[in-house]
Amino acid sequence: MKYSVVIPVYNSEASLRELHDRLVNTFAEINTPYELIFVDDFSKDKSWEVLKEIKASNSDKVKILRLAKNYGQHNATFSGFRVVEGNYVITIDDDLQYSPEDMLKLIEKITSEHLDLVYGIEEKGSKLSVKNTSSKLWKKGSKAMEDALGEGSSFRIFSVKLLSNIMKHNQHFVFLDELLFWYTNFIGFVPVKKHVRLHGKTGYSMLNTFRFVTSITLSYGTWPLKLMTYGGALFSFLSFSIGIFFIFKKIFLGASVAGFTALIVMISFSTSLILLCFGIIGKYLKNIYTVLNNKPVFSIKEEHL
């Protein structure tokens, strides 16, 4: 049984050596074949130089790839899948917030219960933050509106059979959790501790997080279209009801129907709603255009396998 660990790297020169050493020591405990695949997502620090040093010291167990531009965490991870040789694939971040030692919990869970996918998720009672709270709310909302998984993290293990399925996809924006969920419901969860980041800072600023959520929604979600449909039906019903009310007043009660201002407000509101819907449809069409033009998922600048 061989395990392949794929680690997307971005500006993490300070934590890479420790991460590598702890991964090696963890696999030494269970004495099993493994490989470590580091993907440098166009880091601006000396991460690539550090990775080359790690490769030189452990060439048989380490593969390193460098992307030609910054494609984001999920796309970078996806590019590493291309060179996987193991029976199971493990993904973990480069910042040591998830302990490499906890991989053993994921391995035990997926092998003992014959699952296809296992996530390491934060233990209950973890320290709350705006980012964590927003993430949890978004996951719960996705589950309610899109029948999505509702849980997940970047710390996961899954079978090579599942990997072969998701590698068939070539959309420019990759969201791994959604792709994995398309193929299996044999999914397990293991509570793990998430530590405070000791080196550097996260690449997910508020703006980047907003862009990421927007990309997920418009690439994999349909709730904006549902909202347009149901919202349009609701406003059509309200407009029809108001029209019937004024007709009734005019014909049966003889009341004069004033309201030029109300009419202008209604027209302006309706027009803005239509323009918003056109904008949402336009984003979906842009995604279709991107796929049809075969915009690359990733581009390799350099690799040492």
Per-residue pLDDT reduced to its tens digit, 92-124: 999 999 999 999 999 999 999 999 999 999 886
74/1 Cα distance (integer angstroms): 26
Residues 119/152, Cβ–Cβ less than 8 Å: yes
55/180 Cα distance (integer angstroms): 30
Beta pairing partners, 241: none
Residues in the chain: 305
- Select the more confidently predicted residue: 77 or 179: 77
Residues 136/35, Cβ–Cβ less than 8 Å: no
For residue 160, how many C-alpha atoms fall within 13 Å in the half-sphere facing its CB? 12
pLDDT over 60 (residue 10): yes
Exposed e or buried b per residue across 291-300, where buried means at least 16 C-beta atoms within 10 angstroms of its C-beta: eeeeeebbee
Model confidence over 191-228: pLDDT tens digits? 999 888 776 666 555 666 666 566 666 666 666 766 76
Look up residue 61 and give its DSSP letter.
Answer: T
Which pLDDT belongs to residue 128?
47
